[in-house]
Amino acid sequence: MKELKSLDYKILWELIKNSRRSDRELAKVLKISQPTVTRRRSRIEAQLIEGYTAIPKWEKIGFELIAFTFVKTNKSYSNQGKGNAILSAGKAWIMKQPNIAFALPGEGLEWDGLIMSYHKNYSDYAHFKLKLDQELSEIILESRSFIATITEKMVVKPLHFKYLAEAK
């Protein structure tokens, strides 16, 4: 991949703030031509953008809770002959769960993985957690969750990537 130029970063950050903007609007804000924006945007989207998504007002579409589930994984499975198959099955299971928005390995506070999920209510969360612990029992030794209500009144700062544009 070619190194990004300053202008490409400016376009990228404008898209992070609001991906619905037209090339014409971006050109006006950045004071460049619309064909330049179109050409560079195409390259940026192909190389750097995983996808576009809407960030809903969760409570208005029936979701009450967000859960951050921390997991401890069984590191010994990687030494077993079937370790890769177990890991692949675990990843496939996570990908099939529609309420999981984000999952990744990491480290800290004695945990080595994080799963972020949205739930309609506590019963939905409890069912998810039970399923997680039972169906991934070969991989997950222990899991604990931090759950929070995501009503408009409770959220201090809503999830949105537009804030990152200010941190660049």
The CATH number linked to 88 is 3.30.70.920
Of the candidates 122, 115, 114, 83, the residue with the CA atom closest to the CA atom of residue 99: 115
20-64 pLDDT tens trace: 999 999 999 999 999 999 999 999 999 999 998 888 888 889 999
User: Do 100 and 64 lie in a common domain?
Assistant: yes
Residue 38 lies in a domain: yes
Residue 83 has pLDDT above 90, yes or no: no
Least confident of 58-67, 104-113, 151-160: 151-160
Residue 127 has pLDDT above 60, yes or no: yes
C-alpha span between 74 and 70 (Å, rounded):
13
Least confident of 76-85, 138-147, 152-161: 76-85
User: Do 42 and 62 lie in a common domain?
Assistant: no
Q: Which domain holds residue 105?
A: 58-149
**Coil, helix or strand at residue 135:** helix
User: Do 76 and 126 lie in a common domain?
Assistant: yes
Residue 158 lies in a domain: no
Question: Which pLDDT band holds residue 121 (cuts at 50, 70, 90)?
Answer: very high
**Coil, helix or strand at residue 113:** strand
- Mean confidence (pLDDT) of the chain: 88
pLDDT mean over 85-98: 88
DSSP at 101 = E
Question: Which pLDDT band holds residue 168 (cuts at 50, 70, 90)?
Answer: low
pLDDT score, position 79:
56
The model carries a pTM of 0.80
User: Do 72 and 124 lie in a common domain?
Assistant: yes
Number of domains composing the chain: 2
C-alpha span between 164 and 118 (Å, rounded):
22
Residue 162 lies in a domain: no
Residue 106 has pLDDT above 60, yes or no: yes
